[in-house]
Amino acid sequence: MAPTNKNKYSVILPTYNERRNLPVIVSLINDSFTKNNLDYEIIIVDDGSPDGTANIARQLQKAFPRRIILKERAGKLGLGTAYIHGLQSATGNFVVIMDADFSHHPKFIPEMIRKQATNDYDIVTGTRYAGDGGVYGWDLKRKLISKGANIFADTLLRPGVSDLTGSFRLYKKDMLSDSKGYVFQMELIVLAKSMGYSVGEVPISFVDRVYGDSKLSEDEIGQYLTGVLSLWTRV
Ligand SMILES: Nc1nc2c(ncn2[C@@H]2O[C@H](COP(=O)(O)OP(=O)(O)OP(=O)(O)O)[C@@H](O)[C@H]2O)c(=O)[nH]1
Ligand SMILES: *[C@@H]1O[C@H](CO)[C@@H](O)[C@H](O)[C@H]1NC(C)=O
Ligand SMILES: [Mg+2]
């Protein structure tokens, strides 16, 4: 039995066309928290998914009474604002953000919580690029782009965090309210580090999405480079 932990964890799950992934991910999140005697809620932020993800979420609300909050937005407004939208409903003192497509396995959450508790970290981030972390299911091109993106940002910004572009993280909710408005995951962690917040890391294996299509456009790469450079002028 895990030691008593009075904290509550709000898991923010942004979804866009994840009807096939959502039931299993929710069930695994429940397992991870319940088996470790931890209090949690899941905040699903769905952007009007055409595949009916929200209807699945409503069924899950019945299967997991009082655990699931569904926040619906009318259209696809993007991941960054989805986190902020979900955060407004969070009643926990900690916030976990993760993808709903199995790239982020809920089994790592208890380890992130242990890590946070041991050093009282403000942020614990899952890392694909340290320890036993890794990436599975990507072709060489995508691996190189991701790795290159991290090396580029780390060289320019020197935050001392091995995975800047990942989005599997645990935050103290207070520190998120302080830094609200950062829609860019890397921006948040780099600025938090420069403001003296503490960051711990837990190696994770990142698996390519189970159902649904993957896309990485040249637009996104361009936006990323611009983002790193603008951040570089600020830290
Ligand atoms: N609410 C909301 N969720 C989104 C949006 N875009 C992506 N998501 C969700 O955010 C998570 C991460 O998005 P992904 O599309 O998997 O992004 P990715 O991992 O970079 O790309 P893939 O290779 O397609 O997996 C998933 O749970 C998506 O369903 C959006 O505009 N709104
Ligand atoms: C939540 O997880 C616990 C522990 O694995 C399990 O006993 C319980 O049945 C799960 N709840 C639901 C609704 O599946
Ligand atoms: Mg994904």
Instruction: Considering every ligand atom shown, identify the ligand nearest to the alpha carbon of residue 23 and give its number.
Output: 2
Q: Count CB neighbours of 218 within 10 A.
A: 7
Token pair 């408005």 in the structure block, residue:
181
Q: Any residues with CB less than 8 A from the CB of 55 and at least 6 apart, and which? A: 19
Nearest of 209, 223, 221, 189 to residue 16 by alpha carbon: 209
Q: What is the pLDDT of residue 104?
A: 96
Report, as an integer, the average pLDDT of 114-126: 97
Give the angle subtended at the CA of 49 by the CAs of 66 and 51, to the nearest 5°: 100
| pLDDT tens digits, one per residue of 185-222 | 788 888 888 889 999 999 999 998 867 666 667 788 88
User: In sequence order, which residues have a C-beta less than 8 Å from that of residue 144 and are 6 or more positions away?
Assistant: none
pLDDT of residue 215: 61
Residue 177 is encoded by which pair of tokens? 């309210």
For residue 178, the model assigns a pLDDT of: 66
pLDDT band at 62 (very low <50, low <70, confident <90, very high): very high
User: So what's the pLDDT on residue 218?
Assistant: 78
pLDDT tier, 122 (very low <50, low <70, confident <90, very high otherwise): very high
Mean pLDDT of the chain: 91
pLDDT in tens, 16-39: 999 999 999 999 999 999 999 999
Residue 220: strand, helix, or coil:
helix
Report the DSSP beta bridge partners of residue 60: none
Question: Length of the chain, please?
Answer: 235
Residue 92, Cα to own-chain centre: how many angstroms? 16
pLDDT class for 181, splitting at 50, 70, 90? Answer: low
Contacts of 65 by beta carbon, 8 Å cutoff, 6+ apart: none
CB 123 near ligand 1, within 6 Å:
no
Place of tokens 């830290």: 235
The residue contributing the CA closest to ligand 2 atom 9 is: 31
Q: Indicate which ligand has the atom closest to the C-alpha of 19.
A: 1
Rg (CA), the chain: 17
Q: How far is the CA of 15 from the centre of ligand 1 (A)?
A: 6
Ligand showing the shortest atom-to-Cα distance for residue 64 = 2
Given a cut of 60, is residue 183 above it in pLDDT?
Answer: no
pTM of the model: 0.92
37 lines ligand 2 (CB under 6 A): no
- With vertex at residue 47, the alpha carbon angle to CA 42 and CA 48, rounded to the nearest 5 degrees, is 115
The response to whether residue 83 sits with its C-beta less than 6 Å from ligand 1 reads: no
Predicted confidence (pLDDT) at residue 115 exceeds the cutoff of 90: yes
Q: Which domains does the chain carry?
A: 5-232 (3.90.550.10)
**All residues at 6 or more sequence positions from 134 whose CB lies less than 8 Å from its CB, including other chains:** 128, 203, 205, 206
Residue range 41-61: average pLDDT?
Answer: 98
Asked if residue 226 has its Cβ within 6 Å of ligand 2, the reply is: no
**Confidence band, pLDDT 50/70/90 cuts, at residue 182:** low
> Which pLDDT does position 5 carry in this prediction?
81
